[in-house]
Structure formats: C-alpha cells, structure tokens
C-alpha cells in the first residue's frame, strides 16, 4: 500500500486484532496494547443492518432502525439505486461503522461496456451484474479489479473515506479481485468466526425440501463446519453465533406464516443462539435487514432467489420494528450488553457507547 493510502486509512486503527474463542490471550505489544478496551464486565454486541442502499425507500426503514433502534453497524451496497442516498445520510452518524455489503445485485459503477464479463448480456436485466459473478471462471480478473476499485472510489467521494469492513474473497477471478482490493485499501475482512448451522435449521430445510416448498430449492441441508477468523484478528474474539437461527421463521413459502411467526426480538430474548452461554469477553455480531419495500427492493433487487425476496417483503419491515422494540432494549439493559460498532470490535474503541452517553441513553453501559 502506498504511504498516502496508509495515511488516508489510518482511521481504521493501528493495532493488531483477532479472535480465539476458547481461552484468554496475551495482549499484543506496541500500538495494539493501547487499543485494548478497559474491562467493563459485560458482553459486547454488534447489531448490523444489511442491504442498506438497495433503494431510497429501503433506506428509510434502515435509518429508522439506526435513529430509533439499536443498530450499530451499517452494511451498504455500493452498486445500487440507493447507494448515494445511504452514504450521504450516514455522514451524519459517525458512531455507526460502515461495511461494504458485496451482494452485487445492482449494476456496475463503470460503464458495462468496460466490464462486459461482469454483466448480463441480454434480457430484462442486461447491464446488471450477472447472477454467477462470484463463481464464474470466465469473469475477467482485470475487469473485476477495475469495478471494485471504482466502487470504493465512489464511496470515498461521497462518504469521505473507504468502508471500515469488507467481505472476503475466494478462488474465482472475482474472489481474487476482492481480496486484492481489500488489501490495497486496507479493508479488514474475515475478522469474525462463525458457528456452524445447527440441527434445527438443517432439519427445517430438509422438511421443506421433502414438502416441495419453493424456497428450499435454494438452500442446502448438508452440515457445514463453522469458520475461523483470520489469525490477524483472532484476539478480538468476534463471533457470529448460529446466525442462521435468526431467520428460520422467514424460511417458508407462506407469507402469512412469516407475518405470524417471524419476530427477531425473540432471537435475543429467548437466547436462541446461546449468546448468554458464551464467555463474557466475546463480541457477538448478528445481521438483520431493516428497510421499507418498494418495487425495486421487492422485484428488481434480488433476482436469483425470488422465494427469498418474497419472504423479505414482510421480513424487512418487521426488522425495522424489532430493532426499535422496547423488549429488545430491555433485554440489552437487563443483561448488561454493551452495544458496539465494528470499529469498536476491531480496535477496542468505544465510539458507540460514547454516543449513547452523549445522548443520555439508558443503553449506555460503561458508567
């Protein structure tokens, strides 16, 4: 990375970070020592809002959850109709960390003629990103690299800096380009460990597949291992605990069943992922999808999995309500959960708690 880029991204912190779920760990030397948070005695939790920027209407719901709810981190699509609106609005919320949400459901920032291997060639979605972008071997690496750089430059121009976090890469041309751009711009990725899908979730998929439900065609009931954070981030103990459990009541072809059964608050208050059973020095991350729904969000954004898009017509609005729900806020207070953003999680800062203290919130837990 060039020296000017290092200067530009110094806001991302200088300490090493990382996560080892099992045991205590020694404090790293040097700058990392200064980044270690003061022990407060409570679990820390990141509440992340995904799909921000999908559309301006979707953003309205997302910012309702940020302004009046417990969202601490915003994952923004940099390729969608609501991107500019989202980035401009987020400038007013410096206590919210910014993540790069890499679904690539929108269209390239570059002219599609400059990146022909990345886009649909014909049909109603011509010029939009191809559905198999992440895995296709005929994606041209240099085109992927150029587009990813263009998206980050767009973010910097609008928001004032690059995102705080990014998604990981892979072995495909697209995945290798993602990894290279992350390294070029100093974006943390693969910083959290994840629990494997639990048996309740896998059985739900198997039962739905046997019943011939449409949504289940897009899911696998095969057990998979959890993932480990990159050793670079291991001591931060950032963990996603059985996050699939959060969405199990969304996974149905019946919209009325979603309306009846899906309640994100219960993920926390019933401790469905076992957050309260883990050691209290861990930092938990769970993503939701708060947003309001227009035609783009419902019909044009997610093209590959129509069953999931239909589920999220109801689910997005329920997530808005849940993030603002007093039941959730009371659970946070009763269990002395310290809300943090992803910069706090990575570098040991206290930005989100400082915000809560400044506004006199009873969710402030460091006093």
- pLDDT category at 115 given cuts 50, 70, 90 is very high
Dihedral sign of CA atoms 208, 210, 216, 220 in order? positive
* Ramachandran sector of residue 331 (left: φ over 0; alpha: ψ -120 to 50; beta: rest): alpha
**pLDDT value at 59 more than 90:** yes
Condensed to tens digits (0 to 9), the pLDDT of residues 248-296 reads 999 999 999 999 999 999 999 999 999 999 999 999 999 999 999 999 9
Q: Does domain 36-101+190-358 have CATH number 3.20.20?
A: yes
CA 136 – CA 216 distance, rounded (Å):
23
Can you give the pLDDT at residue 116?
98
**pLDDT value at 191 more than 70:** yes
**pLDDT value at 247 more than 70:** yes
Question: Which residue carries 């590959």 as its tokens?
Answer: 304
Contact 162, 97 (CB under 8 A): no
Q: Show the beta-strand stretches assigned E in 161-309.
A: 193-194, 238-240, 283-288
Assigned token pair, 74: 């915003």
Q: What are the residue boundaries of the structural domains of the chain, listed by start?
A: 36-101+190-358
User: 230, exposed or middle or buried, with CB in 10 Å at 0-12, 13-18, 19+?
Assistant: middle
Condensed to tens digits (0 to 9), the pLDDT of residues 194-239 reads 999 999 999 999 999 999 999 999 899 999 999 999 999 999 999 9
Least confident of 48-57, 152-161, 300-309: 300-309
Can you give the pLDDT at residue 5?
34
The residues pairing with 75 across neighbouring beta strands, listed in sequence order, are 99
By C-alpha distance, which of 47, 22, 78 is closest to 339? 47
Per the prediction, the chain carries an average pLDDT of: 88
**pLDDT value at 35 more than 50:** no
């Amino acid at each position: 990375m060039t020296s000017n880029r290092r200067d530009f991204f110094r806001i991302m912190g200088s300490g090493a970070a990382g996560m080892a779920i099992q045991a205590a760990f020694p404090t790293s030397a040097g700058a990392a020592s200064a980044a270690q948070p003061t022990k407060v005695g409570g679990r820390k939790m990141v509440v992340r809002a995904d799909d921000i920027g999908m559309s301006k209407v979707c953003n309205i719901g997302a910012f309702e959850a940020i302004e009046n709810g417990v969202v601490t981190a915003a994952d923004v699509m940099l390729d969608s109709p609501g991107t500019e609106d989202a980035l401009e609005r987020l400038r007013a919320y410096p206590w919210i960390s910014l993540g790069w949400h890499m679904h690539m459901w929108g269209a390239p920032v570059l002219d599609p003629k400059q990146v022909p291997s990345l886009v649909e060639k014909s049909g109603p979605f011509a010029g939009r990103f191809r559905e198999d972008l992440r895995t296709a071997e005929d994606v041209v690496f240099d085109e992927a690299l150029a587009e990813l750089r263009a998206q980050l430059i767009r973010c910097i121009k609008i928001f004032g800096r690059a995102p705080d976090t990014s998604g990981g890469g892979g072995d495909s041309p697209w995945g290798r380009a993602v990894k290279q751009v992350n390294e070029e711009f100093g974006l943390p990725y693969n910083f959290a460990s994840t629990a494997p899908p639990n048996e309740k979730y896998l059985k739900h998929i198997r039962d739905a597949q046997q019943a011939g439900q449409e949504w289940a065609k897009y899911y696998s009931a095969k057990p998979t291992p959890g993932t480990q954070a990159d050793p670079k981030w291991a001591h931060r103990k950032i963990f996603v605990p059985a996050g699939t459990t959060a969405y199990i009541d969304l996974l149905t072809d019946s919209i009325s069943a979603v309306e009846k059964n899906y309640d994100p608050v219960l993920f926390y208050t019933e401790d469905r992922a076992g957050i309260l059973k883990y050691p209290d020095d861990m930092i938990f991350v769970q993503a939701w999808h708060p947003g309001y729904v227009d035609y783009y969000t419902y019909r044009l954004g997610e093209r590959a999995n129509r069953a999931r898009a239909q589920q999220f017509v109801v689910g997005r609005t329920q997530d808005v309500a849940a993030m603002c729900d007093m039941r959730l806020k009371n659970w946070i207070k009763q269990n002395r959960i310290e809300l943090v953003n992803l910069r706090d999680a990575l570098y040991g800062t206290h930005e989100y708690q400082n915000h809560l203290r400044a506004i006199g919130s009873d969710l402030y837990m460091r006093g």
